Amino acid sequence: MREFDLLRHIYRSNDRLDRAVGIPPGDDMGMIRFGGGEVLAAVDQLVAGRHVRIETTSVELVGRKAITRSLSDIAAMAARPLCTLVAATLPPEFGEDRARQLFESMRRTCERFECPLIGGDLAFHGDPDHPLVCSVTVLAEPGPTPPVLRSGARPGDTLYVTGQLGGTMLDDGSGHHLTFDPRITEALMLAELLGDRLHAMIDLSDGLGRDADHIAEASEVKIVIDAARLPCRGNASWKDALQNGEDYELCFAASGSVPSEVRGVPITPVGEVLSGETGELPARLCVRDGDTLREAGELGWQHEA
């Protein structure tokens, strides 16, 4: 992923990032330490045409998704929401009424998930063909445990996902990707229940295939996903569940006993974490399909594209 590479580059070249930076770029949120406190922060963008079809989606749902995508990053760290800031650049024909509806939807969504909107910036493009771009920054504080990173998975852990995967964006642009609730409470409950047995976590935006690979890479382990165990949404195939993305569920690596649900949301073991040295595995991320062990890279999505 270009973004990931860039951020890694930024971190490597920043010799003077001092100890105030508790979590550097590259995880779901960064963290800064100051005056005895710790604050996590992350930014995500919603670009019309990429993340949402502006022609067929209500302004209400566009605003909702802009916020919930970013809140999902808070869930990924098992952190507690603090506040939100929004910057939007809109096409000129969007108009003030719809701009107001958009901000109102974002405000309500922020309020619902207890992450109040405390600032924003609004601009209009000069050119009517330029697309809506909405960037949402969220701040959070650590939850019951230190923030759960991508890098903590250990050989012997089991890999789990919450909810169901795949088929989140229907042909007409609607679907779960517009209406999901970020798993903030579920993540806090898992952190509370599992404590230091919750080793690594990420939210599923790029698809389990890519996102589990982020855990494998950051943790320097190998991961084998069992295709037969993937909880597929509706008619989604196991390949859809791995590739589609926009699930906004949690994927985590943990040891020991893990409940089969939290707050009615199913938790499914979908794979195992093995040593990075395991020679018999053909790749960092593999999928067991019956008796066949396949390299995840063969399944058609780009890992570092």
Residue 10 touching a second copy (CB under 8 A): yes
Do the Cβ atoms of 242 and 286 come closer than 8 Å? Answer: no
- Give the interface segment with a second copy, choosing from 132-140, 144-152, 195-203, 261-269 (CB under 8 A): 132-140
Phi-psi region at 24: left, alpha or beta (left = phi > 0; alpha = psi -120 to 50): beta
44-80 exposure pattern, b = at least 16 Cβ within 10 A, e = fewer: bebebeebbebeebebbbbbbbbbbbbbbbbbbbbbb
Window of 37-45, 174-182, 231-239, 286-294 that interacts with a second copy by CB under 8 A: 37-45
Orientation of helix 59-76 relative to helix 184-194, angle to 10°:
10
| DSSP β-bridge partners for residue 44 | 136
Q: CA 155, CA 274: separation in Å to the nearest integer? A: 4
Token pair in block for residue 130 = 């330029």
Q: Would you say 20 or 292 has its CB closer to a second copy?
A: 20
| Residues 6 or more apart whose Cβ sits within 8 Å of residue 209 | 242, 243, 285, 296, 299, 301
Report the residue number, 118 or 170, with the smaller CB distance to a second copy: 118
> Counting contacts by CB under 8 A, is residue 93 touching a second copy?
no
| Binding flag, residue 83, a second copy (CB under 8 A) | yes
Specify the stretch interacting with a second copy by CB under 8 A; choose among 104-112, 152-160, 168-176, 234-242: 104-112
Q: Spell out a b/e string for 140-169, using b for 16 or more CB atoms within 10 Å of the CB, else e.
A: bebbbbbbbbbbbbeeebebbbbbbbbbbb
Q: Do 90 and 125 meet the contact criterion of CB atoms below 8 Å apart?
A: yes
User: Binding residue for a second copy (CB under 8 A) from 8, 58, 59, 117?
Assistant: 117
Facing residues of 253 across strands? 159, 200
Q: How far apart are CB 139 and a second copy at their closest, in Å?
A: 6
Return the residue matching tokens 């409470």: 185
* # binding residues, a second copy (CB under 8 A): 66
Judged by CB under 8 A, the residue of 8, 57, 61, 141 near a second copy is 141
Q: By CB under 8 A, which span of 127-135, 242-250, 262-270, 282-290 interacts with a second copy? A: 127-135
Binding residue (CB under 8 A) for a second copy from 57, 98, 120, 197 = 120
* Sole binder of a second copy in the list 123, 196, 228, 234 (CB under 8 A): 123
Contact residues for a second copy (CB under 8 A)?
2-3, 6-7, 9-10, 13-14, 16-18, 20-21, 23-25, 29-32, 34-37, 39, 41-45, 47, 49-50, 82-83, 85-87, 89, 96, 99-100, 103-104, 107, 111, 116-127, 129-131, 133, 135, 137, 139, 141
